[in-house]
A and B are shown apart, each in its own frame.
Chain A
Amino acid sequence: MTAKRTISILVTNHPGVLARVAGLFSRRGYNIDSIAVGRTEEPLVSRMTIVLEADKATGEQLIKQLNKLVDTVKVSDVTDDATVERELALIKVAADSSNRSEILQIISIFRAKIVDVSEKAAIIEATGDESKISALIELLRPYGIKELVRTGKIAMVRTGN
Chain B
Amino acid sequence: MRTITGAQAVVESLIAEGVEVVFGYPGGAVLPLYDVLYSSPLRHILTRHEQGAIHAADGYARATGKVGVCIATSGPGATNLVTGIANAYMDSIPVVAFTGQVATNAIGTDAFQEADITGITLPITKHNWLVKDVRELPSIIKKAFHIASTGRPGPVLIDLPKDVQTATLDYSYPEEVDIPSYKPTYHGHPRQIAQVVRALLKAEKPLLYLGGGVISSGASELVRRIAELLGIPVTTTMMGLGAFPSSHELSLGMLGMHGTAAANLAVTGTDLLVAVGARFDDRVTGKISTFAPNAKIIHIDIDPAEIGKNLTSHIPVVGDVKLVLTEVLAGLEVNKAKVEKLAGRRQSWVEQVKKWQEEYPMTYQLGEQIKPQQVIQLISELVGDKAVIATEVGQNQMWTAQYYPFEEPRTLISSGGLGTMGFGLPAAIGAQVGRPDKIVVDIAGDGSILMNSQEMATAKCENIPVKVVILNNSYLGMVRQWQEFFFDCRYSCVNLEGGTPDFVKLAEAYGWLGRRVSDPAQLKDVLAEVLNHPGPAMLDVVIDRGENVLPMVPPGGELSKMIFGKEGDK
Contact = CB atoms under 8 A, between A and B. Distances in A.
Query: Are the chains A and B members of one assembly?
Result: yes
A23 interface: yes
Interface in A56-102: 57, 60-61, 64-65, 67-73
Interface size class, chain B: 10 to 19
Contacts of A60: 308
A65 B147 CA distance: 16
Contacts of A16: 118-119, 122, 130
A69 B308 CA distance: 18
A120 to B, nearest CB: 41
A71 B305 contact: no
A56 B182 CA distance: 25
Nearest to A11: B181
A71 B143 CA distance: 12
Contacts of A27: 123
Interface in B279-308: 303-305, 307-308
B162 interface: no
Interface string B309-320: 100000000000
Given A57-B308, A61-B309, A67-B304, A72 B181 contact: yes
B308 A73 contact: no
A19 interface: yes
Interface in B91-140: 118-119, 122-123, 126-127, 130
B87 to A, nearest CB: 17
Contacts, number: 39
Nearest to A22: B122
A73 B179 CA distance: 10
B181 A15 contact: no
A100 B130 CA distance: 53
Contacts of B181: 12, 70-73
B498 interface: no
Contact of A70 (B119, B126, B303, B304): B126
Contacts of A65: 305
Nearest to A57: B308
Given A57-B308, A65-B305, A70 B122 contact: no
A59 B67 CA distance: 34
B367 interface: no
B308 A15 contact: no
A70 B179 contact: yes
B180 interface: yes
Interface of A: 12, 15-16, 19-20, 23-24, 27, 57, 60-61, 64-65, 67-73
Interface of B: 118-119, 122-123, 126-127, 130, 147, 179-182, 303-305, 307-309
5 contacts: A16-B130, A19-B119, A67-B304, A71-B127, A73-B180
- Sort A-B residue pairs by CB-CB distance and give the 7 closest, nearest first: A64-B305, A70-B127, A73-B181, A27-B123, A70-B182, A23-B122, A64-B304
